[in-house]
Amino acid sequence: MTAVVTEELAEPYLLGVLATAGLDVEYVRGEGDTLYYRRGDEEVPVLDFVGGYGSTMLGHSNPEIIGYARELLAGATPIHAQFSRHPYANEVAARLNRIIKRETGSDESYFAIFANSGAEAIEAAMKHAEFERFVRIAGLRAEIDAHIEAVRAAVADGTVAAPEANALIADVTAHNEALAGRTPLFLAPVGSFHGKLAGSTQLTYNPIYRAVFSALAAQARFVPVDEPGAVDAVVEAERGWLHDLVIEGGRVTVVQRPFPVFCAVVLEPIQGEGGIHEIPEAFVRDVQRVAAELEIPVVVDEIQSGMGRTGSFLASTRLGLRGDYYALAKSLGGGVAKAAVMLVRASRYLRDFEMMHSSTFAKDSFSCLIAARVLDLMEAGDGEVYRTAESRGTELSNVLQDLMKEFPEVVKDVRGRGLMIGLEFHEQGEAGFAILRELHGSGFFGYYMSGFLLREHGIRTFPTSSAVYTLRFEPSVNIGSADIAKLAGALRDLCEQIRDTDGQRLAPVA
Ligand code: F0G
C-alpha cells in the first residue's frame, strides 16, 4: 500500500502511547504464532503470545482456512444476500449445538443469532434478555389488570365498597406504572469485560471504560466473586414489588408480587481482560441458584475462553457453569473472518426477536462458512485440538510456575487454564529505583514490559488492560516447546532487569 498522507489521523493519541513503550510497530505478515514487521528491507519475526486477544487459536493465516477462504472468494460466494436462506449459518448453529450438547449433557437445542464482533453478540444477548423481562412484566401486568377489572366489577355490583376500592386501584396503577418504567439491571462479577459498545461497556467493570457512558444504557451490579452471600445481598438490595389486588371476604387488599428487576447474569468463566481469573465454583453455584430463583437467564461469555482454548470447547463446562445463552466470537472466525454468535436455549427463545434485531454484515456466507470450517478443524481427530491446547497450556504454565519459583520477589502469581494463562508481577510502586516507580506511576507497567520483550527478544505479549501488572499468554494450539523455551528465556531476562538492575533497559523509548 502506498502511503498518501504523513499526518496521523487514525487514533494518533493511542499510537503515541504505544510509541513510548516501543510497541508502535507495523506488522506486515502473520503465520502460525509469528508476526513479521519490516525494518528496512528485512522482515523481523516476532513470536506472538497475544494471539489477537484470543482470536488465533488455530494460528495466524492458518493454511487450511486461508485456502478455503480463497476458494470461497474465487467461487464468488454471495456475501451480501440478506433476507434469503442461510444454510451456512444453520451449519454453524448445528455444529455448535452438537458440541454444547456433548459437553453439557443437555438435550435442549440453542437458537443462534449472528453478529460481527464480541460486543455485538453480547448486546444481542442483553436485548434478548430484556425482551424476556419485558414479556414477563407484560404478563404480570395483564394478570394484575384482570384483577383490577374484577375489583371494578365487584364495585359495580356492590360486593365491595366503592371509595376504598377506587383509591386502591389508583394507588396500585400508579405504583406499577412507576415500577415498570424502572431501568433494568444486570448482574456481573467484579472484574468482568464484555465489550465497549454502549450496552456492553456497562457490563464491563473497569470504570475508565464504563463511567462516562453510564447514562446511555442499563447498568450492572458488580458482585465480588469471593464473598459468600454477595450475590444474594445485591439481589436483596434491589428487590422491587408490583402491587396486585385481591378480594377477600368482601374487602379489597393489596398484595405484593416480585417485579423482575434483573435482566440476566452475565459472566466469563475465566475473566480475560480483567486479569485471567477463573470464576470460583462456589460463585458459579450461587449465580446458578439465584438466576433460577429470579427466573433470569445466565449468559456465559465464552468469547475469549471458548473455542477449545482451555482444553474443552467451552471453559464453562468444567466449572459446572451452564448457560441459557452463550456468546462466541474471536477464534470462531479462524483469525480471518469477523464472526460472532449468540445462542439462546430453545425454551427461553423468543422468535419475535428475529423481527427486531439484525445487522447488515452478520450471518453472511463467508464468515459462516469459515466458522463452520473452523469448528470442523476443532472437532477433528476426536477433539485433538482440545487435548493439545490442554497439554501445551500445561507446558507453558509449568515454565511460568518455575519462573515464579526462581523470581518470587518479581512474579506474584501464575494462573489460568490451557492456553489462557496470566503471569502477574508484584507492584513496583515502592521499588528501590526511580524508573520502576515511574513505570508504576504511568499506569502502563505491563505495556512497558511488553515493549521490552518485543524490542529485546522479539516476543509479543500484552497485559490484560484492566490489570496492567498481569501479562497474558494466549498463543495458538500449535505453539511449540522451542517457542515456550524462548518465552521463558525472555521472561527470565525481564525478571532479572526488575530484580537486579535500575530498570534502564525497561525505560520508555525516547
Ligand atoms: N467478551 C469478552 C470475554 C472479551 O474478552 C471481549 C474482548 C469481548 C467480549 C468484546 O469483544 O472486542 O470483539 O467486541 N476482549 C479483548 C480483550 C478486547 O482485551 O480481552 P469485541
Q: Specify the CATH number for the domain of residue 417.
A: 3.90.1150.10
Which ligand 1 atom minimizes the distance to the CA of 120?
A: 14
Question: Which ligand 1 atom is nearest residue 301's CA?
Answer: 3
Does 234 have pLDDT greater than 80? yes
Nearest CA, atom 21, ligand 1: 118
Integer-rounded Cα Rg, in Å, for the chain is 26
- Give me the pLDDT at residue 162, please: 85
**Does residue 195's CB lie within 6 angstroms of at least one atom of ligand 1?**
yes
Counted domains in the chain: 2
Whether residue 6 has pLDDT greater than 90: no
118 C-beta closer than 6 A to ligand 1: yes
Closest atom of ligand 1 to CA, residue 340: 13
**Which residues, in sequence order, are bridge partners of residue 188?**
222
Q: Are 234 and 221 in contact (CB under 8 A)?
A: yes
* pLDDT value of residue 149: 97
Q: Is any ligand 1 atom within 6 A of the Cβ of residue 192?
A: no
Which of 114, 279, 303 has the most ligand 1 atoms within 8 A of CB, as the residue to mutate? Answer: 303
Co-location of 134 and 173 in the same domain:
yes
> Going by CA atoms, what residue is nearest to atom 7 of ligand 1?
195
pLDDT in tens, 17-40: 999 999 999 999 999 999 999 988
484/426 same-domain check: yes
Residue 371 lies in a domain: no
- Same domain? 390 vs 304: no
Q: Which long-range contacts (CB under 8 A, 24 or more apart) does 11-16 make?
A: none
Buried (b) or exposed (e) across 332-359, using 16+ Cβ within 10 A?
bbbbbbbbbbbbbbeebbeeebeeebeb
**Distance between Cα 5 and ligand 1 center (Å):** 31
Q: How far is the CA of 141 from the centre of ligand 1 (A)?
A: 37
The protein residue with its alpha carbon nearest to ligand 1, atom 11, reads 118
Strands (E), 303-419: 325-328, 340-345, 411-417
Atom of ligand 1 nearest to the CA of 329: 13
Residue 68 lies in a domain: no
Alpha carbons 49 and 474: distance in angstroms, whole number: 5
Q: Is residue 6 part of a domain?
A: no
Question: What value does the mean pLDDT of the chain take?
Answer: 96
> Quick check: 4 pLDDT over 80?
no
Q: Which letter does DSSP use for residue 32 in this model?
A: B
Domain of 107: which CATH number?
Answer: 3.40.640.10
Where residue 421 falls among pLDDT bands split at 50, 70, 90?
very high
Last residue of a domain, one of 302, 328, 363: 363
Residue 228 within any structural domain of the chain: yes
State the burial class of residue 397 (Cβ atoms within 10 Å of its Cβ: 0-12, 13-18, 19+): buried
Q: Looking at the domain assignment, is residue 304 inside a domain? A: yes
Across the range 462-474, mean pLDDT stands at: 97
Cα four-point dihedral sign 465, 470, 474, 475 = positive
Residues 424, 288 within the same domain: no
Phi, psi for 125 (deg, rounded to 5): -65, -40
Among 302, 329, 363, give the residue marking a domain's end: 363
Question: In the predicted model, is pLDDT for residue 427 greater than 70?
Answer: yes
301 Cβ closer than 6 Å to some ligand 1 atom: yes
Looking at the CA of residue 122, tell me the nearest atom of ligand 1: 9
Residue 277 lies in a domain: yes
Candidate from 53, 202, 268, 468 with most ligand 1 atoms within 8 A of CB, to mutate:
53
Can you read off the three cell numbers belonging to residue 487?
518465552
pLDDT exceeds 90 at position 93:
yes
116 pocket-lining for ligand 1 (C-beta < 6 Å): no
| pLDDT value at 510 more than 80 | no
Confidence of residue 280 (pLDDT cuts 50, 70, 90): very high
pLDDT digits (tens, 9 = 90+) for 347-378: 999 999 999 999 999 999 999 999 999 999 99
Give the mean model confidence (pLDDT) for residues 144-163: 94
The closest-lying atom of ligand 1 relative to the alpha carbon of residue 464 is: 19
Ligand 1 touching residue 300 (CB < 6 A) = no
Q: Name which residue sits closest to atom 20 of ligand 1, judged by CA.
A: 273
Ligand 1: which residue has its CA nearest to atom 18?
53
Nearest to 343 by CA among 129, 114, 186: 114
Q: In terms of domains, do 92 and 48 share one?
A: no
Residue 77 lies in a domain: no
Helices (H), 315-364: 315-319, 353-356
Q: Indicate whether 109 and 35 sit together in one domain.
A: no
Q: Do 405 and 314 lie in a common domain?
A: no
Q: Are both 194 and 289 inside the same structural domain?
A: yes
Last residue of a domain, one of 300, 328, 363: 363
Within this chain, do residues 192 and 45 fall inside the same structural domain, yes or no?
A: no
The pLDDT value given to residue 1: 65
- Same domain, yes or no, for 136 and 40? no
pLDDT for 318-341, tens place per residue?
A: 999 999 999 999 999 999 999 999
76 lies in a domain? Answer: no
What whole-number percentage of the chain has pLDDT above 90? 96
Are the C-beta atoms of residues 140 and 358 closer than 8 Å to each other? no
Write out the residue range of the structural domain in which residue 243 sits: 87-363
122 Cβ inside 6 Å of ligand 1: yes
- Return the ligand 1 atom nearest residue 462 CA: 19
> Which pLDDT does position 268 carry in this prediction?
98
For the ranges 1-15, 131-145, 286-300, the lowest mean pLDDT is seen at 1-15
pLDDT of amino acid 329: 98
Kindly report, residue by residue over 159-195, the tens digit of the pLDDT: 998 899 999 999 999 999 999 999 999 999 999 999 9
Contact 264, 325 (CB under 8 A): yes
Q: Residue 47's beta-bridge partner residues? A: 34, 459
Please indicate, yes or no, whether residues 242 and 115 belong to a single structural domain of this protein. yes
pLDDT interval class at 2 (50, 70, 90): low
Q: 224 pLDDT band (50/70/90 cuts)? A: very high
pLDDT one-digit tens code per residue, 112-126: 999 999 999 999 999
Q: Which residues contact 203 (CB under 8 A, 6 or more apart)?
A: 122, 126, 186, 188, 192, 194, 195, 220, 266
Question: 317 and 249, same structural domain?
Answer: yes
Is 123 near ligand 1, meaning CB less than 6 Å away? Answer: no
**Cα-based distances in Å from 187 to 137, 173, 297:** 19, 28, 11
